[in-house]
């Protein structure tokens, strides 16, 4: 706008000084953009250098031209294009833009610092967790080494103790007891997994075992001796050819098959066949073995040791 006003002002000035008449000033010209800028610059320099000279040069022109010049100059003042107000406004706008960008920068700086702090915290947590994992792995390795070192010895000890106990029990009952391997037809169960061969028979010499319908404590096997006998204990083993066996059980006895009495605290048992003697012999027709715990599944084979008649 400053350029356009200055060009108009220059045109009017030329008319006033006789260098161009008003008619020619209103006609289209072929003055180039660069020459107009140069002339406008020269005119503004002339006004700034000595306003009195500028006024004296216009003094002899007609009032209409002078009024037009005054109107143009007042317009420039109002728009601020020729005063310091324009530069001050531009400077103020630039400062506002700078302040806005500074606020954005400050906010991003705080966000980066927070993220850096969080990253440092998580990195430390990861390091500590790594140390804990390493400690746990080392402890696991130590425990495994201890188990590997002791299991063979414990297995040997258990086998030896079981064998000695069995032999001692044989001495106690020699020529005075017998094992009743009750037939499957005289056995009943709390539940059964199925009738197939592997789970179809619980006799001591069976190729399978009794397999409970569900693996839980309280499942039982019951044997009917046919008549009341003096029960000395039971013989029990796990499922043949499988890693399923009862690990603890109790023995209950009954005369009528309705009212049962627990004769023992839970026996600890394994997969191998073993004798389990009652503390006190019991007169009973029905013998029930109740599962307390198991390995793999509640499965067993069993018979009853009774006093010989």
Spans of all domains in the chain: 2-82, 176-307
8 A C-beta contact, residue 238 and residue 271 = yes
Taking the chain, what is the end-to-end CA distance rounded to the nearest angstrom? 134
pLDDT tens figures, 268-280: 998 899 999 998 8
- Tokens for 51? 């306003």
pLDDT band at 86; cut points 50, 70, 90:
low
Helix (H, G, I), strand (E, B) or coil at 207: coil
Residue 239: pLDDT over 50? yes
Q: What percent of the chain has pLDDT over 70?
A: 75
- Which of 149-163, 239-253, 284-298 comes out lowest in average pLDDT? 149-163
Residue 175: pLDDT over 80? no
pLDDT tens figures, 141-168: 888 888 777 767 766 777 777 677 766 7
With 0.95 as the threshold, say if the pTM is over it: no
Average pLDDT over residues 34-44: 52
pLDDT band at 196; cut points 50, 70, 90:
low
CATH code, 176-307: 2.60.120.260
- Tokens for 52? 């009195």
**How many Å apart are CA 15 and CA 305, to the nearest integer?**
144
Task: Annotate 266-307 with DSSP letters as a single string.
Answer: PEE--SS-EEEEEEEEEEEEEEEEEEEEEESSSEEEEEEEEE
Helix (H, G, I), strand (E, B) or coil at 11: helix
Identify the sign of the CA torsion 164, 166, 169, 171: negative
**How many Å apart are CA 165 and CA 103, to the nearest integer?**
88
């Amino acid at each position: 706008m400053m350029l356009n006003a200055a060009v108009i002002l220059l045109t009017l000035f030329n008319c006033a000084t006789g260098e161009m008449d008003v008619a020619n000033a209103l006609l289209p010209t072929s003055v180039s953009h660069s020459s107009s800028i140069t002339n406008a610059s020269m005119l503004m320099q002339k006004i700034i250098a000595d306003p009195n000279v500028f006024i004296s040069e216009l003094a002899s022109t007609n009032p209409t031209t002078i009024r037009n010049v005054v109107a143009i100059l007042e317009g420039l003042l109002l728009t601020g294009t020729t005063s310091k107000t324009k530069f001050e406004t531009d400077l103020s706008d630039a400062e506002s833009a700078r302040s806005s960008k500074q606020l954005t920068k400050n906010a991003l700086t705080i966000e980066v610092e927070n993220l850096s702090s969080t990253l440092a915290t998580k990195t430390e947590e990861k390091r500590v967790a790594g140390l804990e994992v390493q400690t746990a792995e080392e402890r696991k390795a130590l425990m495994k080494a201890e188990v590997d070192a002791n299991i063979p010895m414990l297995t040997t000890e258990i086998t030896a103790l079981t064998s000695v106990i069995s032999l001692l029990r044989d001495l106690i009952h020699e020529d005075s007891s017998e094992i009743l391997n009750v037939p499957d037809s005289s056995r009943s169960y709390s539940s059964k997994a199925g009738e197939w061969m592997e789970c179809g028979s619980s006799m001591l010499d069976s190729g399978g075992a009794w397999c409970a319908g569900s693996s839980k404590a309280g499942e039982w096997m019951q044997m009917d001796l046919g008549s009341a006998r003096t029960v000395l204990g039971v013989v029990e083993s796990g499922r043949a050819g499988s890693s399923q066996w009862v690990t603890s059980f109790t023995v209950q006895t009954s005369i009528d098959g309705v009212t049962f009495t627990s004769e023992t605290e839970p026996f600890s048992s394994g997969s191998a066949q073993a004798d389990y003697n009652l503390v006190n012999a019991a007169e009973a027709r029905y013998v029930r073995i109740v599962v307390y715990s198991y390995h793999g599944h509640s499965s067993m084979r069993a018979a009853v040791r009774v006093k010989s008649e």
